[in-house]
Amino acid sequence: MERVIVAGGGLAGVRTIEALRAQGHTGRLTLVGAEPHRPYDRPPLSKGVLRGDVDDTTVEADWTALDCELLLGHRVTGLTDVLETTAGPLGFDGLVIATGASPIRLPGEGPQHVLRTIDDARALRAELRPGARVAIVGAGWIGAEVATAAAAAGCRVTVVEAADAPLSGAVAAEVGTKTTGWYAEAGIELRTGVKVASVERGGLDLAGGGSIEADVVLTGVGVRPETAWLEGSGLTLDNGVAVDERLRTGRPGVYAVGDCAAWWSSRFRRRLRVEHWDTALNAPEVAAAGLLGGDRLYDPVPYFWSEQFGHMVQYAGHHPVADIMVWRGDPTAAGGWSACWLADDRLVAILTVDRPRDLAQGRRIIAGQKRVDRSALADPAIPVKETVRE
């Protein structure tokens, strides 16, 4: 294989380049990235960058040793027999699609921030000043983390959520309800069950009437996979680039990884698209192996973490396949707690708040597809690993 192109300049892109070289590829490598920056980590954008603790999250990579052509500030625009880009058409023998996802924006003529790039984070940080009225649309992971940073900066923060509880879309309203007190403790007004009609100059217009005045608006209602450029390419698009358990598309030599890849999970018996750092970090190893003639499967236990309101929230697994949820600890009491999801008494997902050991042990149990004892699992004094049924 003479030339491999990686379309996407994020973490998944650079890890693909590194994996290809580490696994023995000696041909040409080209990375095409829409941003002018070299690949960087995104999780710190809503944490350390917004707080002002760090300003540069560039991924450490020895680009000289990698011998990779960098086409930064150029977008991919189509896929035919070649990769169409704003730098011109590029021929290839192998292609890895890692174009990520783009934030959803709300209608309206008013200015609205989103948080996806380092430039987004720096621009938002500049407006988080003491006394500024900040309206955040969406109480998901990003909304909660931005609210945490804005409150710490002395802003007057209002969070508007269309669902009845925070994190309803990410996990479940039953679990998200347990986090509502965190907003009040941080001095943040949380308004659930409220839909936004549009972003206008001066704030938000609400569906059904009413408005919220704001100096700064952050829209955090989710992202869409960056795949519009692939329409007409012949690749299957199904909430992302549809790939099999080896991350292969239907076209030989073309793979997809990261936020834009919808991969088949044998573990959960469905197609998954996971928008988290852990996926971008690990999937490239499998795609690189496939391009170089190997045969590796990609079927991880999805993992994610969030730092919000002084709590470490971690999640592993895929809870929609569950038939029951078990509480572990009291979410209304001081100290940490966990929520565990089971399917046929097998642990399939776990969310932990300030209980990292629960998460680590639960993740291993999910990977092993082991059954657990429900009553033992509900007892926070019993280590999760000891709840496994022989």
Q: Across 244-302, where does the E strand assignment appear?
A: 254-256, 261-265, 270-272
Four-way CATH pick for 310-387: 3.30.450.150, 3.90.660.10, 3.30.390.30, 3.40.50.720: 3.30.390.30
Q: 370: buried, middle or exposed (CB in 10 Å: 19+, 13-18, 0-12)?
A: middle
Residue type, 378: A
Please determine whether the domains at 3-102+223-291 and 105-219 fall in the same fold group of CATH: yes
Among the listed residues 187, 213, 189, the one whose alpha carbon sits nearest the alpha carbon of residue 200: 213
Domain segments of the chain as ranges: 3-102+223-291, 105-219, 310-387
Q: What is the pLDDT of residue 334?
A: 80
In angstroms, rounded to a whole number, what is the distance separating the alpha carbons of residues 51 and 312? Answer: 16
The structure tokens listed for 124 are 């938002």
- Report pLDDT for 343: 97
Q: Specify burial of residue 30 (Cβ count, 10 A radius: 0-12, 13-18, 19+).
A: buried
d(CA 56, CA 233): 36
Rounded distance between C-alpha atoms, residue 19 and residue 286, angstroms: 9
pLDDT tens for the chain, 390 residues long, are 899 999 999 999 999 999 999 999 999 999 999 999 999 999 999 999 999 999 999 999 999 999 999 999 999 999 999 999 999 999 999 999 999 999 999 999 999 999 999 999 999 999 999 999 999 999 999 999 999 999 999 999 999 999 999 999 999 899 999 999 999 999 999 999 999 999 999 999 999 899 999 999 999 999 999 999 999 999 999 999 999 999 999 999 999 999 999 999 999 999 999 999 999 999 999 999 999 999 999 999 999 999 999 999 999 999 999 999 999 999 988 889 999 999 999 999 999 999 999 999 999 999 999 999 999 999 999 999 999 997
Going by the DSSP 8-state scheme, the letter that residue 174 receives in this structure is H
pLDDT computed for residue 1 by the predictor: 85
Taking the mean position of all CA atoms in its chain, how far away is CA 55? 20
**CATH number corresponding to 3-102+223-291:** 3.50.50.60
To the nearest 10°, report the CA torsion of 148, 150, 152, 158: -70
- In the structure encoding, which two tokens stand for residue 206, read together? 């609400």
Q: What is the pLDDT of residue 313?
A: 97
Q: Which residue has the tokens 């941003």?
A: 35
Element (H, E) at 356: helix 356-368
Architecture label for domain 105-219: 3-Layer(bba) Sandwich (3.50)
Annotate 310-349 with DSSP letters as a single string.
TEEEEEEE-GGG-SEEEEES-TTSSS-EEEEEEETTEEEE
At 46, which amino acid appears? S
Please name the residues in contact with 200: beta carbons below 8 A apart, sequence gap of 6 or more. Answer: 108, 109, 110, 211
- Which amino acid does the sequence have at 185? E
Give the integer Cα–Cα distance in Å for 46 and 156. 18
Please report the pLDDT score of residue 189 as a whole number.
98
Q: Which of 212, 184, 180, 174 is nearest to 324 (CA)?
A: 174
Helix (H) or strand (E) holding 51: helix 48-51
Secondary structure letter of residue 171 according to DSSP:
S
pTM here?
A: 0.95
Beta-sheet strands, E only, within 145-222 = 156-161, 189-192, 196-200, 203-206, 211-213, 216-219
Backbone dihedral region for residue 276 (phi beyond 0: left; psi -120 to 50: alpha; all else: beta)? beta
